């Protein structure tokens, strides 16, 4: 990407989009195009058409989506399927119509079958049934991957799909019901500390294993892949390292400074026992994460305190 190229970051106020925006600014890109969802509702086909015709971006990072944790995904099933399909259909099609040089579509690790072998390799896509709770979201993301591939096959568009693992970082969502596990733990431990609560109870046994990537590392990977990767199908982005929810909770407890007890409510469901990305394809291209988990949680906690307290 030339430094003067016009680059549209869809979803630039979100955790991922804002990290990509910061990364591009730090690399010296000056011609960045952004719109909030109230300025441009990407579900609106005509509005997206008018925007692309007027702006004609050279490159697109598609980081706008309806995103949430397990409860949100399961509760708003229609919204997650409809809104994500609408956003990606409109943006990907207009990128084709207006001759965008390259587009990156962001998916998620939930596209893989629930019982796929671990670690998750890119070729496991569509080899089994999805996790029921986030099936609508995953179906939308799989459609996005296939749409990019179809425009590449039929119209020779350079549209690529990347699948990040669980993310956390600046501008994360700390909503009490709709957030992902790591920001939810940060909020829970912080509130217990300030309220003097003697105990924090975590749902499940604490034994499931999960992988986490700092969003600024993801943005570095996206930037790297935008320069170095031009293939159909998909590529995983993660650390290739995981830990138990119990160890994660202990880390968040340490970072937030909560001094009470930590207990696990094993009567609540655990979810998938393990979800780890195979990142050998990404590593073979020469990219590796830089921010380790404890350091990243410190940075995320500072951001939480600055914005939510």
Ligand X SMILES: NC(=O)c1ccc[n+]([C@@H]2O[C@H](COP(=O)([O-])OP(=O)(O)OC[C@H]3O[C@@H](n4cnc5c(N)ncnc54)[C@H](OP(=O)(O)O)[C@@H]3O)[C@@H](O)[C@H]2O)c1
Rule CB under 6 A: choose which of 7, 9, 32, 63 binds ligand X: 63
Q: Is 108 annotated as a binding residue?
A: yes
Nearest residue by C-beta to ligand X? 14
As a 3-state breakdown, the chain gives helix, strand, coil percent values, each rounded to 5, of 45, 15, 40
Using the rule CB under 6 A, give the single segment among 8-16, 201-209, 225-233, 253-261 that binds ligand X. 8-16
Rule CB under 6 A: choose which of 30, 36, 127, 230 binds ligand X: 36
Nearer to ligand X, 67 or 255 (CB): 67
Cβ atoms of 206 and 245 within 8 Å: the answer is yes
Nearer to ligand X, 17 or 206 (CB): 17
Pairing mode, if any, of strands 209-210 and 243-244? antiparallel
Q: Is 43 annotated as a binding residue?
A: no
Give the binding-site size for ligand X (rule: CB under 6 A).
25
Closest by CA to 162, choosing from 7, 47, 20, is 20
Q: How far apart are CA 153 and CA 72, in angstroms?
A: 35
Question: Is residue 116 a contact point for ligand X (CB under 6 A)?
Answer: no
Using the rule CB under 6 A, give the single segment among 58-66, 247-255, 256-264, 275-283 that binds ligand X. 58-66
Element (H, E) at 262: strand 261-265
Is 59 tagged catalytic?
A: no
Q: How far apart are CA 157 and CA 59, in angstroms?
A: 12
Question: What's the number of CA atoms in the CB half-sphere (13 Å) around residue 120?
Answer: 31
Element (H, E) at 32: strand 32-33
Task: Classify residue 124 as exposed, middle or buried by CB count within 10 Å of its CB (0-12, 13-18, 19+).
Answer: middle
Q: Is 141 annotated as a binding residue?
A: yes
The strand pairing partners of 263, in sequence order, are: 201
Q: Is 14 annotated as a binding residue?
A: yes
Question: Is residue 42 a contact point for ligand X (CB under 6 A)?
Answer: yes
Cβ atoms of 66 and 42 within 8 Å: the answer is no
Q: Which 8-state DSSP code applies to residue 278?
A: -
Q: How far apart are CA 308 and CA 152, in angstroms?
A: 42
Using the rule CB under 6 A, give the single segment among 149-157, 163-171, 203-211, 239-247 that binds ligand X. 163-171
Question: Is residue 183 a contact point for ligand X (CB under 6 A)?
Answer: no
Question: Is residue 106 a contact point for ligand X (CB under 6 A)?
Answer: yes
Question: Is residue 279 a contact point for ligand X (CB under 6 A)?
Answer: no
Please state the closest distance from residue 248 (CB atom) to ligand X, in A: 14
Binding-site string for ligand X from residue 10 to residue 29, where x marks contact by CB under 6 A and - marks none = -x-xxxxx------------
Question: Is residue 111 a contact point for ligand X (CB under 6 A)?
Answer: no
Furthest-apart CA pair in the chain: how many Å?
61
Q: How far apart are CA 14 and CA 33, in angstroms?
A: 15
Please state the closest distance from residue 197 (CB atom) to ligand X, in A: 27
Q: How far apart are CA 239 and CA 294, in angstroms?
A: 14
Question: Is residue 167 a contact point for ligand X (CB under 6 A)?
Answer: yes
Rule CB under 6 A: choose which of 32, 65, 91, 111 binds ligand X: 65
Question: Is residue 178 a contact point for ligand X (CB under 6 A)?
Answer: no
Pairing mode, if any, of strands 159-164 and 209-210? unpaired
Catalytic residue selected from 137, 151, 229, 301: 137
Annotated catalytic sites, by residue?
Answer: 137
- State the binding site: 11-17, 106-109, 141, 164-167, 180, 188, 203, 210, 270
Q: Where on the chain is the footprint of ligand X (CB under 6 A)?
A: 11, 13-17, 36-37, 40-43, 63-67, 87, 106, 108, 164, 166-167, 173, 180
């Amino acid at each position: 990407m030339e430094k003067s190229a016009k680059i549209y970051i869809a979803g630039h106020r979100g955790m991922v989009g804002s990290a990509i925006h910061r990364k591009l600014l730090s690399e010296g890109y000056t011609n960045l195009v952004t719109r909030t969802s109230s300025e441009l509702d990407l579900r609106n086909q005509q509005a997206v058409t008018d925007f692309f015709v007027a702006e004609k971006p050279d490159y697109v990072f598609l980081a706008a989506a309806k995103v949430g944790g397990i409860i949100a995904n399961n509760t708003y099933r229609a919204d997650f399927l409809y809104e994500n399909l609408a956003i990606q259909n409109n943006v990907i099609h207009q990128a084709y119509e207006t001759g965008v040089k390259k587009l990156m579509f962001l998916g998620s690790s939930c596209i893989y079958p629930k019982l796929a072998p671990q670690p998750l390799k890119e070729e496991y896509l569509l080899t089994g049934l999805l996790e029921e709770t986030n099936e609508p979201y995953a179906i939308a993301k799989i459609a996005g991957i296939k749409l990019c591939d179809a425009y590449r096959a039929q119209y020779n568009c350079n549209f690529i799909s990347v699948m990040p693992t669980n993310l956390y970082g600046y501008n994360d969502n700390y909503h009490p019901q709709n957030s992902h596990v790591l920001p939810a733990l940060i909020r829970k431990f912080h509130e217990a500390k300030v309220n003097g609560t003697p105990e924090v109870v975590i749902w499940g046994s604490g034994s499931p294993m999960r992988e986490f990537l700092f969003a600024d590392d993801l943005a570095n990977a996206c930037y790297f892949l935008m320069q170095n990767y031009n293939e159909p199908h998909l590529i995983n982005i993660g650390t290739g390292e995981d830990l138990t929810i119990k160890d994660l909770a202990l880390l968040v407890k340490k970072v937030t400074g909560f001094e009470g007890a930590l207990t696990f409510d094993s009567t609540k469901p655990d979810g998938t026992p393990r979800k780890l990305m195979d990142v050998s394809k990404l590593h073979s291209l020469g990219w590796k994460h830089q921010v380790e988990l404890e350091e990243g949680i410190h940075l995320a906690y500072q951001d939480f305190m600055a914005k939510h307290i």
